[in-house]
Amino acid sequence: MESTYLSFEELVIWQEGMKICYQVYDSLMDCLDYGLKNQMERSAVSIPSNISEGYELSSDRAFIRHLYIAKGSSGELRTQLYIAIRQKYIPQNTGNEMIDQLKKLSSMIQKFITARRQRNATAFLKKTLFFLF
């Protein structure tokens, strides 16, 4: 029998988060500002990590909470990228590409949150209507 279980690795938002994470590590390989480098790497790792952790908890409420954390880390990383570009730790074109990718990812995560919430609301409504009739 074929399983319908999807793993978090199959989620496009997780895949995109991983791509950005790899880009951050690659871009900062020679960076000597260890404080900013460490914070940027931690923010980058947080995005796909929270997506996968929330997904594995098998609770919509927990998953949505972790998606918000991932979205917040995306905003945090964008801010750090602006600093890294300004300090010339990352070439401007590379940094701007990552910022654009993070904006897109943040939008994708928000749409995922909205869809998940809508799914929960629909399920609740169906249960309520079934109980009433």
Structure confidence at residue 111 (pLDDT): 95
Structural domains in the chain? 11-132 (1.20.1440.60)
Q: pTM of the full predicted structure?
A: 0.86
For residue 90, the 8-state DSSP code is: S
Structure confidence at residue 104 (pLDDT): 98
Structure confidence at residue 118 (pLDDT): 85
CB of 77 within 8 A of CB of 47?
yes
Helix (H) or strand (E) holding 117: helix 92-132
Structure confidence at residue 2 (pLDDT): 45
Provide block-wise average pLDDT over 10 residues at a time, the chain (133 residues).
Answer: 73 97 97 97 98 92 96 98 98 97 98 87 55 53
CB of 50 within 8 A of CB of 70?
yes
Structure confidence at residue 1 (pLDDT): 39
Structure confidence at residue 117 (pLDDT): 87
